Amino acid sequence: MPYRNKEDRKKQVNKSPDSPEFRRRMARQEARREMDRTGKDANKNGKADKREGMDVSHNKALAQGGTNKDGVKVESASANRSRNLKKKKKSPRRLA
């Protein structure tokens, strides 16, 4: 069912190309494309065989200042996404 009042809906605002989020997204995309371009593709679907169902993981996380030049590896999606490097570690609570 469509929105009744279009004025109530927020307009989508794309990230500017100068933002760090945009640059990190482009770095992830470049890493995937490079892996697909250089890897063997037996079933001709456009993805490298070793990347089928896997994530391209950066050796040094982009959120921590890494780049594609630091190196990438193929890793399962669950292993790659389970490392939440952006999350701040909580200090242990002291019971008094």
Each residue of 33-68: pLDDT tens digit?
Answer: 998 888 888 888 888 888 888 888 999 988 888 899
Q: Please, are residues 30 and 23 in contact by the beta-carbon 8 Å criterion?
A: no
pLDDT confidence of residue 48: 82
What integer pLDDT is reported at residue 87 of this predicted model?
A: 58
Q: For 18, phi and psi rounded to 5 degrees?
A: -85, -15
pLDDT value for 47: 81
- Hey, how many other C-beta atoms are within 10 angstroms of the C-beta on 57? 19
Averaged pLDDT, 22-35: 91
Grouping H, G, I as helix, E, B as strand and the rest as coil, residue 60 is coil
Burial class (CB in 10 A: 0-12, 13-18, 19+), 34: middle
Average pLDDT for the chain: 83
